Structure 1
Amino acid sequence: MARNKFPVHTTLSSDAVKILERYEKELGAKNLVLEKALMSLDSSKFKSKIDTNNIDKAIKRINTGVAGLDDMLEGGVPEGFSVVVTGPPGTGKTTLCMQFLMEGVRNDEKCLFFSFEERIQQLIQHFMRFGWDIGKHIDDGYLEIFGMSPLSFEEIGEIIDAYKPKRIVFDSLNMVTDPSEFRKSLSWRTLHKQLKAKNITSFLITEKEHGIETKSYDTYDFLGDGIIFLDQIQANEVEPNLTPVMAVRKMRATRVDTSPQPFRFTDKGISKYRTVNLTASKLQERMNMHHSASSHEPGY
């Protein structure tokens, strides 16, 4: 009687069959053959090469909803990125992030907002200032807001699994973890891995004690795929009012101009200036002058 060429399983790949046949000749006993063959198959995956031809070279970008900012980012933030939105208090970080979520809602994307320091009533009032119909978006199932959130990162992960959002905002990380311990946290690394695996674009708000002219970074900054810094600076000696500015300090896979760009608060949120009367170069010159003067102050 003819011997079956595929004694174990007829649906095995040709590579698997070759391995089985080779070890069957060497070892004879079926249990030893299977054990050795399976070990070989398991180790072979470490030798495989990445097929770069099958990787999509086009980067899908997500609109931020902030007029002018997308122009600074080749059309938007790369999908699935974690972007740190940082700066001193009161510079518009929460407003920018809310706009980011509202843009998602307009595109029928589910969005989550986790605040660790504001009550939900305050957050909704903040949203409503700019004419955003939060109640409707929540009722329609496109937005969920968690205010003064006592949730752990593990519980947040469970919410993400159930809700399946495309955009998330965390406000702010300083309230829930110390920067020096943040990246070492197993619970955060697990959550961050989940965000990446699900291709969720997230904005992570953090607080800075220094202004944009100071070149200093913390652990949160190194974590992010991108950094957007918001601040207010005095544009000239004559004008006493401070000018809101934003600078894209970092954005992977994107050509960026890191110089500060002036923006304004409107009744519909944040909008980057498109006028030429206050250019980025003038702001950069002003910042350099301020930084130079500070660095030459005598230390007492």
Structure 2
Amino acid sequence: MTGEERMESKRVSTGIETLDDILCGGLTADRLYLIEGSPGSGKTTLGLQFLLAGRELGGTGIYVTLSETKEELLGIAESHGWSLDGIHIHELLDHERDVHHAQYTMFEPSEVELSSTVGEVQTQVERLQPDRIVFDSLSEMRLLSQGALRYRRQILSLKQFFVGRGCTTLLLDDKAAGGEDQQLQSLAHGVIRLEQRLTDYGNERRSLRVIKHRGSDFIGGAHDLRLARGGMQVFPRSIVDNNPSSFLGRQVSSGLDTLDTLLGGGVGEGSSTLLLGPAGVGKSSLGMQFAIEAARRGQRAVLFEFEESNQTLVKRSEGLGFPLTRYMDAGLISIQHVRAGEITPNEFALNVRAAVEPDNQGREASIVLIDSLNGYLSSMPHERFLVVQLHEILNYLGKRGIATFLVVAQHGMMGHAMGTPVDTSYLADAVILFRYFEASGEIHRAISVVKNRTANHERTIREFGLSDKGLVIGEPLNNFRGVLAGTPEFIGPREVLLTPPKSSPE
């Protein structure tokens, strides 16, 4: 391998692990990159994280600023809990001098000689020999250049100066000139664009796109990002799992013999199950049954709650006789609450991925419950293709051998008016259908398995009940009418029905 090839293969971290994943290993070393975005999109934060990552490796970094003062940069770093000790901040423009000129001369800032500014940068680089440099911002250089041709030549001279000195350079551009500067993009080895847009509800949406990265693969498309204390968080568009599938495809038991019989032995490892029915019929409780049984086996279960609070969930579980609190304290069941309007699809996907990783005792998750799909859809009303992104999540969990349960509440209680928010039955390997039915002037619950790709399931309808001893599933009921019409009515003998419980929490 030649020296040039070795340099080309060397990568440097951006300081953001997930962004490095998007770039398939990070930025190619000793190259010049353009970071473009409107004010407030996170360019300065990304630049500082890039330099901090270099400092952690023992390198030298320079932040060259034409727009912000050193005090402002230190304030930004402090807001994230960072210290910029060891990072050289070089202010190119003397603001006091500029104010003096503005008051007492007729010279405009654009009439300041650019060559002295570029010369100061080169002097600092010669003196400090940095391996990372951030130049903020190009909009000031445009003003100093007094023309597009001179501006392009100065950027080209900077590129030629930096390359070959072992220095990876980020040029920050706030796109003050408007539109895309394709000439500038052509000069850069790579281009990363930061974008933000305002939605009708919730916080503004920020995203990141890699426009180009010469000689390297990268994950294209828009990747969600969030600016929070501690820096920029990037959430990749797709979930990449290079680990081969290792599960054996065994059946996962619910802990209830009657339910396992109805399912043909249980649900398969790595499968997805849709729990479909009207509100209050017991869908979430059945999903909790699988989670509790997994915890009893010493396996982890993760619940993503879009609707219920922790207090409500614990109270409902205790009403069914589920020792939820005990398993939560043991770390076998974890609950993550998702706030509507405050999360993006890619962020949710990354949270799922992180939640199922082995814990500090090496225990991997075996059950994931998403409660509910209605909440998932309504929490991100401005996003498109949510079902496609959900499909990617299910594929990822399936490869890990994790059984996933999706709760879907149908609109309406019964009859032809019932409907689902979106048709997701094709995503699921198994569909468990819940219904209310009438018998002898009382309302009862029914459960049936519509499909189960992993087993030969029963085609019968059984009664389903909730009590303080847990879930109760009766024997197959044969005398029904109006099932397909959505208004099932039992016309058989009352003696075969379950006694309606006094309290039946959902």
TM bracket (short chain): 0.5 to 0.7
Q: Note if contact 1:221-1:227 (Cα within 8 Å) is conserved in structure 2.
A: yes
User: 1 CA distance for matches of 2:320 and 2:371?
Assistant: 19
User: 2 CA distance for matches of 1:264 and 1:291?
Assistant: 18
Q: Note if contact 2:249-2:401 (Cα within 8 Å) is conserved in structure 1.
A: no
Alignment-derived partner of residue 250 in structure 1: 451
What is the CA distance between 1:199 and its match in structure 2? 0.6
Q: Note if contact 2:276-2:410 (Cα within 8 Å) is conserved in structure 1.
A: yes
Within a 5 Å distance, the mapping from 1:136-147 to structure 2 comes to: 136-147=326-337
Q: Note if contact 2:261-2:457 (Cα within 8 Å) is conserved in structure 1.
A: no
What is the CA distance between 1:148 and its match in structure 2? 4.3
Q: Deviations over 1:79-119 (max 9, x none)?
A: 11100001010100111111111111111111111110111
Within a 5 Å distance, the mapping from 1:136-175 to structure 2 comes to: 136-149=326-339, 152-163=348-359, 164-175=364-375
What is the CA distance between 1:213 and its match in structure 2? 6.8
The SS at the match of 1:176 is helix
What is the CA distance between 1:190 and its match in structure 2? 3.4
User: 2 CA distance for matches of 1:213 and 1:73?
Assistant: 25
* Aligned counterpart for 1:204 among listed residues 396, 406, 410: 406
Q: Note if contact 2:279-2:413 (Cα within 8 Å) is conserved in structure 1.
A: no
> Which of 218-227 and 96-105 deviates more?
218-227
User: 1 CA distance for matches of 2:385 and 2:469?
Assistant: 37
What is the CA distance between 1:229 and its match in structure 2? 0.9
> TM-score normalized by structure 1?
0.67
What is the CA distance between 1:256 and its match in structure 2? 2.2
Alignment-derived partner of residue 131 in structure 1: 321
What is the CA distance between 1:207 and its match in structure 2? 1.3
Alignment-derived partner of residue 230 in structure 1: 434
More helix by share: 1
Alignment-derived partner of residue 182 in structure 1: 386
CA RMSD of aligned residues (A): 3.0
What is the CA distance between 1:290 and its match in structure 2? 7.0
> Which of 217-226 and 81-90 deviates more?
217-226
The SS at the match of 2:411 is coil
State the one-letter code of the partner of 1:153: A
CA pair 256-93 structure 1, distance change in 2 beyond 3 A: same
State the one-letter code of the partner of 1:110: R
Instruction: State the identity as a percent.
Output: 22
More strand by share: 2
What is the CA distance between 1:204 and its match in structure 2? 0.6
> Which of 137-146 and 100-109 deviates more?
137-146
1:83 matches 2:280? no
Asked which structure has the greater RCO (Cα within 8 Å, sep 6+), the reply is 1
What is the CA distance between 1:280 and its match in structure 2? 2.0
The SS at the match of 1:193 is helix
State the one-letter code of the partner of 2:456: R
User: 2 CA distance for matches of 1:292 and 1:263?
Assistant: 14
* Aligned counterpart for 1:281 among listed residues 468, 478, 501: 478
Alignment-derived partner of residue 192 in structure 1: 394
State the one-letter code of the partner of 2:477: A
The SS at the match of 1:113 is strand
Unaligned runs of 5+ in 1: 1-55, 294-300
Q: Note if contact 1:182-1:219 (Cα within 8 Å) is conserved in structure 2.
A: no
> Which of 256-265 and 80-89 deviates more?
256-265
Q: Note if contact 1:154-1:191 (Cα within 8 Å) is conserved in structure 2.
A: no
Q: Note if contact 1:67-1:270 (Cα within 8 Å) is conserved in structure 2.
A: no
The SS at the match of 2:483 is helix
User: 2 CA distance for matches of 1:234 and 1:210?
Assistant: 16
What is the CA distance between 1:249 and its match in structure 2? 0.7
User: 1 CA distance for matches of 2:401 and 2:482?
Assistant: 39
User: 2 CA distance for matches of 1:230 and 1:289?
Assistant: 14
User: 2 CA distance for matches of 1:216 and 1:130?
Assistant: 28
> TM-score normalized by structure 2?
0.41
Q: Deviations over 1:53-102 (max 9, x none)?
A: xxx9x851111134411011222111111000010101001111111111
Q: How many residues align?
A: 228
Within a 5 Å distance, the mapping from 1:52-71 to structure 2 comes to: 59-71=249-261
* Aligned counterpart for 2:423 among listed residues 219, 233, 238: 219
CA pair 209-67 structure 1, distance change in 2 beyond 3 A: farther
Q: Deviations over 1:2-53 (max 9, x none)?
A: xxxxxxxxxxxxxxxxxxxxxxxxxxxxxxxxxxxxxxxxxxxxxxxxxxxx
> Which of 88-97 and 137-146 deviates more?
137-146
Q: Deviations over 1:178-223 (max 9, x none)?
A: 79833323xx343222201111001110111256776977421111
User: 2 CA distance for matches of 1:156 and 1:290?
Assistant: 35
Kindly name which structure, 1 or 2, has the bigger radius of gyration based on alpha carbons: 2
User: 2 CA distance for matches of 1:201 and 1:71?
Assistant: 18
Q: Note if contact 1:96-1:269 (Cα within 8 Å) is conserved in structure 2.
A: no
User: 2 CA distance for matches of 1:91 and 1:167?
Assistant: 21
